[in-house]
């Protein structure tokens, strides 16, 4: 059973009405696929399966978007905190390529949704700022390995907003961008509802997922029988599918501030190997990271903002915008799902035939979620196969050393 985690509001959750009502299912139901967890991963899986003609039942302990999806920075980056250079070194080129490919597929999926609904998608590009020479070397190596459209910048060529603030170099991906995460989730749910094949049940945690046949998903009040089940509960995946594979909950904290005059942050920015990140949302600056300052206290699914991370975020903001003054308006946190090797799990759950898993995007589920969900649906529908690096049954780091 899901732990009693504390999931208060966020910058995004405070800006729009809830994306569903707490209306739990009761009694016995039959469906083609039961999807457990209505964040970006579960919603995209539900949409893909409904478009493939399946009747889908989507369940969540709360309402959609109360997990990490309603709490993130909305960066849509093709690569994670570790770029192609670092992933290639640690896990092999094939894994690095599969992750980047997932990011490119996400961009395409989001651009298609953005053509029909305002999801806040802005293809402004992204900038990664190196905090030291070793990171600058890695950014240059990523640019060399990937080639176009990536561009590097030396210290003297950095945008004015970042010159003289301790950064050594930068890497720009001009095709990355940003979204409003809840607007995106809302658009995915609307598209799934429009198929006429989506049923929803929100408010009761799922307590068991049995492989069957048939697959059975249970809550305190309902029993959903299905041909297949998909677990997309991210940080809480092991409560329904005991590990291994292990997904560990890790807190990420953010703040929003009014800064006057507004900094010239023209694109989402990542610094210090993705440990720190910031962007503008209209005339509001949002900034997150500094997790390592908190050490073990951030290994939690308690989504409340707390010291020592919050003061460290304020100090970072002050350093980035000085001499401008910043006034913090909102603080929040969310729970990410981390895997042992930093690569998400997507595929059939180990030892099961009808239960599938998509979880553990390691803090990059906006950039990878929609693309990975599309690939998972392809695999479930027999239209394609997932890269082996995503297999939940893999040995952690099994890809290391492959060229």
Ligand X SMILES: Cc1cc2nc3c(=O)[nH]c(=O)nc-3n(C[C@H](O)[C@H](O)[C@H](O)COP(=O)(O)OP(=O)(O)OC[C@H]3O[C@@H](n4cnc5c(N)ncnc54)[C@H](O)[C@@H]3O)c2cc1C
Residues of the shown chain interacting with ligand X in the complex, contacts defined by CB under 6 A: 2, 36-42, 59-62, 66-69, 71-75, 205-206, 232-236, 239-240, 252, 254, 288, 334, 336, 359, 361, 363-367, 369
Whether residue 18 contacts residue 70, with contact meaning beta carbons closer than 8 Å, is answered with no
Q: Quick one: 50 or 144, whose CB is closer to ligand X?
A: 50
Conformational region of residue 235, where left means phi above 0, alpha means psi within -120 to 50, and beta covers everything else:
alpha
Query: Residue 361 Cβ, how far from ligand X at the closest point, in Å?
Result: 4
Burial class (CB in 10 A: 0-12, 13-18, 19+), 14: exposed
Query: Residue 205 Cβ, how far from ligand X at the closest point, in Å?
Result: 4
Whether residue 202 contacts residue 188, with contact meaning beta carbons closer than 8 Å, is answered with no
Are β-strands 208-210 and 269-271 bridged in parallel, bridged antiparallel, or unpaired? Answer: unpaired
Q: Quick one: 263 or 274, whose CB is closer to ligand X?
A: 274
Q: Hey, what are 213's tokens? A: 């046949």
Q: Quick one: 36 or 134, whose CB is closer to ligand X?
A: 36
Query: Residue 240 Cβ, how far from ligand X at the closest point, in Å?
Result: 6
Query: Residue 312 Cβ, how far from ligand X at the closest point, in Å?
Result: 14
Q: Quick one: 37 or 263, whose CB is closer to ligand X?
A: 37
Kindly give, in sequence order, each residue whose CB lies less than 8 Å from that of residue 333, ignoring residues fewer than 6 positions away: 10, 71, 251, 252, 253, 254, 303, 304, 305, 306
Q: Quick one: 234 or 310, whose CB is closer to ligand X?
A: 234
What whole-number distance in Å separates Cα of residue 168 and Cα of residue 55?
52
Query: Residue 403 Cβ, how far from ligand X at the closest point, in Å?
Result: 28
Helix (H) or strand (E) holding 56: strand 56-60
Q: Quick one: 68 or 326, whose CB is closer to ligand X?
A: 68
Query: Residue 157 Cβ, how far from ligand X at the closest point, in Å?
Result: 25
Tokens 């010159």 belong to residue = 163
Q: Hey, what are 105's tokens? A: 């597929």
What whole-number distance in Å separates Cα of residue 267 and Cα of residue 187?
23
């Amino acid at each position: 059973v899901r732990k009693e985690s504390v999931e208060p509001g966020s910058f995004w959750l405070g800006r729009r009405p809830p994306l569903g009502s707490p209306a739990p299912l009761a009694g016995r139901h039959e469906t083609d696929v039961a999807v457990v967890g209505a964040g970006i991963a579960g919603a995209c899986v539900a949409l893909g399966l409904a478009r493939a003609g399946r009747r889908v039942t989507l369940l969540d302990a709360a309402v959609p978007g109360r997990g990490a999806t309603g709490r993130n920075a909305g960066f849509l980056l093709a690569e994670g905190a570790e770029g192609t250079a670092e992933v290639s070194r640690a896990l092999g080129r094939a894994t690095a390529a599969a992750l980047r490919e997932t990011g490119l597929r996400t961009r395409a999926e989001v651009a298609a949704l953005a053509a029909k609904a305002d999801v806040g998608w802005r293809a402004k590009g992204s900038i990664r700022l190196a905090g030291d020479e070793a990171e600058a070397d890695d950014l240059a190596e990523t640019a060399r390995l990937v080639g176009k459209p990536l561009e590097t910048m030396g210290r003297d060529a950095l945008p004015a907003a970042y010159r003289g603030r301790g950064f050594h170099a930068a890497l720009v991906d001009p095709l990355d961008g940003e979204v409003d995460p809840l607007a995106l989730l809302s658009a995915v749910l609307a598209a799934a509802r429009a198929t006429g094949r989506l049923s929803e049940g929100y408010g009761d945690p799922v307590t068991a997922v049995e492989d069957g046949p048939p697959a059975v998903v249970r809550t305190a009040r309902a029993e959903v029988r299905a041909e297949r089940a998909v677990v997309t509960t991210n940080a809480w995946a092991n409560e329904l599918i005991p590990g291994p594979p292990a997904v560990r909950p890790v807190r990420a904290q953010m703040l929003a501030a009014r800064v006057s005059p507004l900094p010239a942050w023209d694109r989402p920015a990542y610094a210090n190997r993705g440990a720190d990140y910031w962007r503008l949302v209209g005339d509001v600056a949002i900034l997150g990271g500094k997790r390592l300052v908190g050490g073990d206290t951030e290994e939690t699914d308690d989504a409340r903002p707390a010291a020592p991370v919050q003061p460290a975020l304020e100090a970072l903001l002050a350093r980035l915008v000085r001499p401008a003054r910043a006034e913090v308006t909102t603080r929040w946190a969310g729970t990410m799902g981390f895997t042992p090797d930093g690569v998400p799990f997507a595929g059939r759950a180990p030892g099961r035939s009808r239960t599938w898993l998509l979880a553990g995007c390691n803090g990059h589920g906006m950039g990878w979620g929609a693309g990975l969900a599309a690939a998972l649906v392809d695999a479930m529908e027999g239209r394609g196969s997932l890269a082996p690096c995503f297999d939940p049954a893999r040995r952690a780091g099994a890809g290391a050393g492959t060229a």
